[in-house]
Structure 1
């Protein structure tokens, strides 16, 4: 890692593809089925909501982690940062500790604890996570030997498989929408 070129870590492509595909598999049939069943919701509003939701998810999954000689920075595309998340920067000399915290689902996440007491979530879904953690250890001196990613790739592979299966069912439902009864 040199001072002139930061190391850049992006969300893992497997995670991005899986979550974007899951969003589409869950939402894409809604406007089509609303029209086929003559639901009281105008399908145009559903299409608009679907596109806006997909853009928000795409923006969130466009997170970048930059490591350089000065510190660690989490950024998002400009259009996303102005609407949702701003990102953050933590200088290496302000990192006091890396604290584990259990999630509501029983997983383990880590927060950088700054000298001022603020917590910054360690990005755990990036491609090259082990390299990111090694760089953090080299810059801070904090032992990161036990730090592991929140989810393993096989979990996302299974989720992608079920998402593709759901997509096939969606295509069948859309193809057979003419056989659906209108809503009451």
Structure 2
């Protein structure tokens, strides 16, 4: 009688190919729109209300903050047969120091930690390293990333869930768009009020 065919998780994954995961587009777009909605009226309102901080200073600060936010959302997770790497693009890499690399052999466990909001984040631990490394949980293809971890380490990832579900960011996206509409009305009102003085 022939033996049943068994397929391991590692059989379904490429052995040598580099796979790159980026922050989910939904998360990136939502957070960038929220940032724009929160900051874009400030320079205009500073001019209208004759605030002590010049609008040019506010505008410069907003641009710098937007660049830093975009850089932070450009995190990349790379996995291959050797290990896992978290890095950023070259243009922002010099500033963001949270980059790291672990070989699969170095990883000994995946430890959960509760957040202040009641969620769970997970950290890779290693006997060779003296620190823990945060598992990126906001990448597109998170389930596939977990399959890589499970295929190359003895860690069971069945109970690991993404930190934020897509519906949370969809709600935030809707409110960010509403905020932009309110911003448009605020800017239009401020411009007419300033023109009427």
Give the Cα separation in 2 of the matches to 1:122 and 1:180: 50
Query: Unaligned regions of 5+ residues in structure 2, if any?
Result: 1-12
Q: Deviations over 1:23-63 (max 9, x none)?
A: 00000110111011111111011110000000000000000
> Shift of residue 65 of structure 1?
0.2
Q: Distance in 2 between matches of 1:86 and 1:119?
A: 12
Gaps of 5+ in 1: none
Decide which moves more: 96-105 or 171-180: 171-180
Give the TM-score of the pair, scaled to structure 1. Answer: 0.94
Larger radius of gyration: 2
Task: State the 1:3 CA deviation.
Answer: 5.1
Which position in structure 2 is the counterpart of 1:173?
186
Distance 1:49 1:19, change over 3 A: same
Runs of 4+ displaced beyond 3 Å: 1-4, 178-181
- For this pair of structures, how many residues does the alignment match? 181
TM-score w.r.t. length of structure 2: 0.88
Check the 8 A contact 1:20/1:57 in 2, yes or no: yes
Matches within 5 A, 1:1-184: 1-2=13-14, 4-116=16-128, 117-178=130-191
C-alpha deviations, 1:83-133, integer Å up to 9, x for none? 123511011000010000001111100000011342000000000000100
Contact 1:37 1:180 in 2 (8 A): no
SS of the residue corresponding to residue 83 of structure 1 reads: coil
SS in 2 for 1:35: helix
Does the aligned pair in 2 maintain the 1:76–1:85 contact within 8 Å? no
